[in-house]
């Protein structure tokens, strides 16, 4: 149960925010063009839902290895060098995500301490920025999982040869 939850957390959360974003956008369009009334709150919330959707989907993409990459560069070198390049890429990615996690956490804490509010809905801005450390953390976990999988496969292959 817990493993299923953790394996699908990005999917469920990203799906929720996508549905929220889409619903609010459709609602805004309907009220504006059919009833000639503009909802002041829906645009801002849909924007923030989209931001959450993007960062959670990025973690989903890391999990499924569907991010953009330069595969032709890796394919152009010998197999042993491919493994080195893949491992270095994972380490670079991990370094970047740890950096992003640390600094996005600092910014989120600063926003929490200052209690800055969004313009239209008066939502605390730290709640919007909280997706940065959450998304970074989830992506970091997924990259660590890829490093462990890569290491196991590489060591197992080396032992068989």
Position 65 scores a pLDDT of: 86
Segment (H or E) for 25: helix 2-33
CB 45 within 8 A of CB 24: yes
Q: Which residues contact 132 (CB under 8 A, 6 or more apart)?
A: 55, 100, 104, 107, 108
Distance CA 56, CA 14 (A): 5
Position 7 scores a pLDDT of: 76
Position 1 scores a pLDDT of: 58
**Which of 49, 55, 61, 62 has the alpha carbon at shortest distance from 16?**
49
Position 102 scores a pLDDT of: 98
Q: Number of folded domains in the chain?
A: 1
Paired tokens of 34: 């059919």
Position 149 scores a pLDDT of: 93
Distance CA 4, CA 2 (A): 5
Position 2 scores a pLDDT of: 65
Position 159 scores a pLDDT of: 65
Position 81 scores a pLDDT of: 86
Distance CA 144, CA 125 (A): 30
Q: How do the pLDDT tens digits run along the chain, 161 residues long?
A: 566 767 788 889 999 999 999 999 999 999 999 988 888 899 999 999 999 999 999 999 999 888 887 777 778 888 888 888 889 999 999 999 999 999 999 999 999 999 999 988 999 999 999 999 999 999 999 999 999 999 888 877 766 66
Domain that holds residue 105: 2-160
């Amino acid at each position: 149960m817990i493993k299923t939850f953790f394996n699908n957390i990005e999917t469920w959360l990203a799906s929720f925010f996508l549905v929220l974003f889409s619903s609010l956008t459709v609602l805004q369009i309907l009220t504006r063009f059919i009833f000639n009334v503009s909802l002041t709150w829906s645009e801002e919330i849909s924007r923030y839902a989209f931001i959450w959707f993007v960062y959670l989907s990025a973690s989903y993409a890391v999990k499924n290895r569907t991010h953009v990459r330069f595969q032709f560069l890796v394919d152009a070198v010998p197999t042993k060098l491919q493994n080195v390049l893949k491992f270095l890429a994972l380490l670079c990615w991990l370094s970047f995500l740890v950096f992003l996690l640390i600094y996005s956490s600092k910014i989120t804490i600063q926003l929490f301490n200052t209690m800055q509010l969004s313009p239209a809905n008066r939502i605390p801005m730290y709640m919007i920025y909280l997706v940065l450390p959450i998304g970074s953390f989830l992506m970091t976990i997924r990259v660590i999982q890829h490093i462990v999988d890569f290491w196991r496969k590489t060591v197992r292959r080396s032992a068989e040869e």
